[in-house]
Chains A and B, each alone.
Chain A
Amino acid sequence: MNDGGTAPGPAAPESPKPAFQAVFARGERASPPSAISASLTLGWRALLKIKHVPFQLFDVTITPLMFTLLFTYLFGGALAGSPREYIQFLLPGIMVQTVVFITVYTGVGLNTDISKGLFDRFRSLPIWQPAPIVGALLGDVLRYSIAAMMVVGVGLVLGFRPGAGVAGVALGVLLVLVFAFSISWIWIVASFLVKTAESVMTLSFLVLFPLTFVSNIFVDPATMPAWVRVIVGMNPVTHLTTATRTFMHGGGVAWSSVAWVLMASATIVAVFGPISLWLYRKER
């Protein structure tokens, strides 16, 4: 049989293991970890996953980077006079799109944990019960930050020059993280309701494609038909993009859009947070 390359074990099926008894834990268990400790430990797990499976990160970052290159060099001249001018407009939006798309992996990851039985193991441990969700989110926020930095880095290489400097970029990224954190909760709910990880992904792309394209990420809505402009104006992604642009380029932050984004984020968490915790406690 294939034992994956370990040293050949004893041939006799009933192999004696003299050292075996010694490893059994005896006596009292350690007292259960605090809610914070359990959440941080599960956040550590999420970090390990980024380390072992970096592809998850590239998977969703490559597409937006491709968009950046395509739009900048193919349409940049037509849309904004020159590729270099267009990327100033496009890049904050691409960052928004990238991070918003990566949130899908929160749901996919949780769904995989549930279907693989890992959640049952976590739930059978004496830990604060929402810790697996909170821990996953902690890791995800780090993942979002890495992705955001990758996009900004590539943008800088391509000629993106944020007028408001490091502080402005940081504020922009922070707002994007807040929004991404909030919509993660939607995918958490989805991951409890849907059977397979693939369906979670399909479902979220169905939502995210219109959400990110029917927005002001790629072009100024002024050129759109009036009814589309109305939809674009209501899209939180539009407000997030506007806010991020003004944070990054300076010269008058669009505070109304910032407020809009914060309110939308708070509302999403207020609705989907309790639902997901309820679904989590509910048996499956």
Chain B
Amino acid sequence: MAAILTTGLVKIFGGTRAVDGIDLEVGRGSVYGLLGPNGAGKTTTIRMLTTLLRPDAGTARVLGHDVVAEAAAIRAKVSLTGQFASVDEDLTGRENLILIGRLLGLSWRDARRRAGELLTAFELDDAANRQARTYSGGMRRRLDIAASLIAASDLVFLDEPTTGLDPRSRNQVWDIVREIASSGTTVLLTTQYLEEADRLAERLAVIDHGRVIAEGTSRELKASVGGSALHVRVHPPSQREAAAAALAPVLGDCVTVGNDPGSLIATVSGTAAAAEALQALDRAGVQVVEFTLGQPSLDEVFLALTGRRDVDDRDVEVVT
């Protein structure tokens, strides 16, 4: 039996189809990623799966239970870490965990014991008795995830667990997610970053405008871009046009300009094409200061899947 199975899931907010017919099948014991820009419908999907929202159409079964008819059964088996670290800022870290422990049915003694164990495991011992409002973003996020792990869950939902975190905190959260998964718990996480999905999720669904536009392993998705990402930086930047002109006959019309004034981005089919491109630049007498061949970014997967490059416009929301 799948951990999550949805068919034609729809949620409409005042005329906007926030979720527009999502079909998902998430196997047990895996880490599954929902990848997409802000406003794609990831959070709305999670809110329906955690029984916080009622679908307008379609069905969803979580751990075999219907999200509408058997909401209480689902709430007793899953845990949710929402998009904004949902801790009570007025309370200390320890009090936050005891509170959730009590609400999960633990005795005061067990709730205190669990809080202590989790604070140690999440390296929050020193801050345990400080109000959560004094925590950094990373600490708050760890506390939030710790709260989700107080009781055993068959399925853990993590909604954008690393958005707004610095790289070190992000790495810590990644470690935690891997640990959760290795304990056999199914994890559904949403993210805006391909890298994150790539590192954590075995399978992922790319969501845009409330629809699944691609589904598979990250290897499969990257293959769908049809090649690797070539990043070229020239110096001085004024040579960019000359470089683009030199590359066009070799790489075709896939050459686009990057954010850096001297940079160009292109999709290439393999190393042979990249070598040709480098030779073309050499012949044109353009001075290349950077030439890298890498995995396509979310931008590029997105471009390949949707034909537009607007991820950047929508994902600049900093969560503090």
Contacts and interface: CB of A to CB of B under 8 A. Distances in A.
Nearest to B165: A1
A118 B52 CA distance: 12
Chain B interface residue number, banded: 35 or more
Nearest to B106: A30
Contacts of A121: 80, 82, 86, 100, 147
Contacts of B92: 52
A32 B104 contact: yes
B76 interface: yes
A154 to B, nearest CB: 26
B127 A4 contact: yes
B152 A118 contact: no
B104 A4 contact: no
Given A14-B175, A120-B82, A124-B78, A30 B110 contact: yes
A4 B168 CA distance: 14
Given A1-B169, A33-B103, A6 B47 contact: no
Contacts of B83: 117
Interface string A88-125: 00000000000000000000000001001110111111
A283 interface: yes
Interface in B189-242: none
A236 B74 CA distance: 45
Interface stretch (B29-37, B130-138, B299-307): B130-138
Interface of A: 1-7, 9, 13-15, 17, 19-33, 37-38, 41-42, 44-45, 48-49, 52-53, 113, 116-118, 120-127, 131, 283
Given A37-B102, A120-B82, A124-B75, 14 more contacts: A6-B139, A7-B126, A14-B175, A15-B175, A17-B121, A17-B175, A23-B120, A23-B121, A24-B179, A25-B114, A30-B104, A45-B95, A122-B103, A125-B100
26 contacts: A4-B130, A4-B139, A6-B125, A6-B127, A9-B123, A13-B168, A13-B171, A19-B120, A20-B176, A24-B180, A25-B151, A25-B152, A29-B104, A29-B105, A30-B107, A30-B110, A33-B103, A45-B91, A48-B91, A48-B95, A52-B91, A117-B83, A117-B86, A120-B47, A124-B51, A127-B103
